[in-house]
Structure 1
Amino acid sequence: MDSILFLLVPKRDVVFLPNNCSVQFALDVMEENAYSAIPIINEKGRYVGTLTEGDLLWEIKNNPGMNFDNTRKFTLKDIKRKRKVQSAGINEDLGIIIELSKTQNFVPITDDDGVFIGIITRQEVIDYLLKKDSIIKEEAI
């Protein structure tokens, strides 16, 4: 079993949001970083889900009490998330990470207590697979 640690982008290098932050703050962070999705953590540092631009758009559209002028009054706890971005544990098999990467831009990684410790991006997985494929082809020559 290959360890996934070598693919991990550690928490200190990841933009994430606390689930008690305002919707306005989330919008600002997403715009500033040009991200379409950001992991959300709770007060204990545990991964609780991923916020997407679509989640925000549909909430503003479908919530008659919310508009762009009053998003400071709402927190991420008020936002319904349409898509479940599945996390994986630090000891997860690399094959599971590859499988999740097929449908997710990133895989949130948690420790044994469910605490968010970073992400593995789809790009990291693709780069790893391309490098591994290249090594196999070189060995065959």
Structure 2
Amino acid sequence: MEISDFLFPKDKVAYIHSYANMQEAMEKLERSQYAAIPVIDEQGKYVGTLSEGDLLWKMKNTSGLSFQNLDIVKVHEIKRRIKNECVPIQANLEDMLELAADQNFVPVVDDQIFVGIIRRKDIIEYYTSSISD
């Protein structure tokens, strides 16, 4: 078994670019119904995870910011409180499992380029089905 066996590919993942604005981020989170999504830069590299809480704290701590002007704030300007570590696609399965114990998803990179995520849900389902077989 390899990390790639658990990969939920980038083309199916809700993620946001670091140059997008806060309004776009809120809409992406709302559409995806996730509480957090990966952030990638202009080169496609994983740079962190943006959560609903990050957006709320930004609104609370930014004077004059309201739902009417969220487009003035770029995602890269928002402090991220969740530190989801990423794992290289060629890493050991144990390294990924260790991260998945503390993260809802593990971002996966190939030569620093974001290629997808591994969802903790998929790992649990796999091992649950293995036990019951």
Instruction: Give the TM-score normalised by structure 1.
Output: 0.89
Larger radius of gyration: 1
The share of aligned pairs that are identical, in percent, is 41
Question: How many residue pairs align between the two structures?
Answer: 133
Q: Where does structure 1 lack aligned partners over 5 or more consecutive residues?
A: 136-141
AA aligned to 1:134 is: S
Match of 1:128 in 2: 126
Provide the aligned C-alpha RMSD in A: 1.1
* Structure 2: runs of 5 or more not aligned: none
CA distance in 1, matches of 2:77, 2:131: 45
Amino acid at match of 1:77: H
Q: Give, in angstroms, the shift of residue 132 of structure 1.
A: 2.7
Consecutive aligned runs of 4 or more in structure 1 exceeding 6 Å deviation: none
TM-score (norm 2): 0.95
Cα deviation code 1:89-129 (max 9, x no counterpart): 00111112212111111000000x20000000011110121
The CA deviation at 1:66 is: 2.1
Any idea what the Cα deviations from partners look like across 1:1-44, whole Å, max 9, x if unmatched? Answer: x3111100111111111100010010011111211101010000
Structure 1 range deviating more: 62-71 or 79-88:
62-71
Matches within 5 A, 1:4-43: 4-43=3-42
- Give yes or no for the alignment of 1:55 onto 2:54: yes
Q: Give CA-to-partner distance per residue, 1:66-90, whole Å, 9 cap, x none.
A: 2222111111011000121111000
